[in-house]
Amino acid sequence: MIRTINLAAENANPLIPHTAELIVGAIAFTLLFLVLRRAVVPMFEKGFAARTEAIQGGIERAEKAQAEAQRALAQYTEQLLKAREESQTMREEARSQGVAIVEELRAKAQEEAARITASAHASIEAERQQAITSLRNEVGAIAVELASKIVGEALDDQARQSRIVDRFLDDLESSK
């Protein structure tokens, strides 16, 4: 290269600029600068921004979806837990209620039974009394009739009759 520059030095000085070329160079460069600054650089920048946006937007969207899913999962877990607790308490309650109901029914049944027994006892007692009374009357009448027949003597007097019968029955009871 050095050799060629030496060669060049023999002729017209190549370091002297031409006016026309200076002007053209300035104009051409300025023209290109304006075109690139106005039409090219903003478009490239726009493209880069859009690309960055698209990539970042995608990541953000994915992150958002993941967060959403996580939140839903947490919510479901919580709901499930709550439901389980609720069912637990419900079962607990049902059991205690069941026990109470059974207890109550049993009490009622016993009461009813007691009541029935009592009324049975009462009616039996009443019937017995009635039976005793009627038996006493009938037995008396029969015995008197029998005795009168046997003795041959009519004991028409009511008061006397019953006195005799009572005495007879008392004797019977005391002899027992």
Partner 1 sequence: MRSLHLLRMEGAGFVPPSTNDFNLPPVFSNNPYTTKPVLLVFLSVIVVSIFFIMASRKAAIVPSRLQFAGEKIYEFVRNDVARDNIGHEFMRFVPYLFTLFTFVLTNNIFGIVPLLQFPAMSHVSFPYVLAIFTFIVFHYVGIRKQGIGKYLKDIMFMPGVPKAAYILLTPLELATFFIVRPLTLSLRLFANMFAGHLLLLVFILGGDHLLKGVIGLKLISPFAFAFGIGLTFFEFMVQCLQAYIFTLLTALYIAGALADEH
Query: Which positions touch partner 1 (CB under 8 A)?
Result: 1, 4-5, 7-12, 14-22, 24-26, 28-29, 31-33, 35-37, 39-41, 43-44, 46-47, 50-51, 54
Block residue for tokens 């637990």: 88
Q: Which is nearer to partner 1, 62 or 116 (CB)?
A: 62
CB neighbour class for 161 (10 Å; exposed up to 12, middle 13-18, buried from 19): middle
- Of 47 and 98, the one with the shorter C-beta distance to partner 1 is 47
- Residues 143 and 168: their CA atoms lie apart, in Å, by 9
CB distance 161 to 136 below 8 Å: no
Tell me the closest approach of the beta carbon of residue 3 to partner 1, in angstroms.
9
Min dist. Cβ of residue 61 to partner 1 (A) = 15
**Residue among 7 and 150 whose Cβ is closer to partner 1:** 7
* Nearest to partner 1 of 29, 76 (CB atom): 29
Instruction: Provide, rounded to whole angstroms, the least separation between the CB of residue 54 and partner 1.
Output: 5
Instruction: Write down the least CB distance from residue 85 to partner 1, Å.
Output: 51
Which residues, 6 or more positions from 14, have their beta carbon under 8 angstroms from its beta carbon? 8
| Dihedral-angle region of residue 152 (phi above 0 means left; psi in -120 to 50 means alpha; beta otherwise) | left
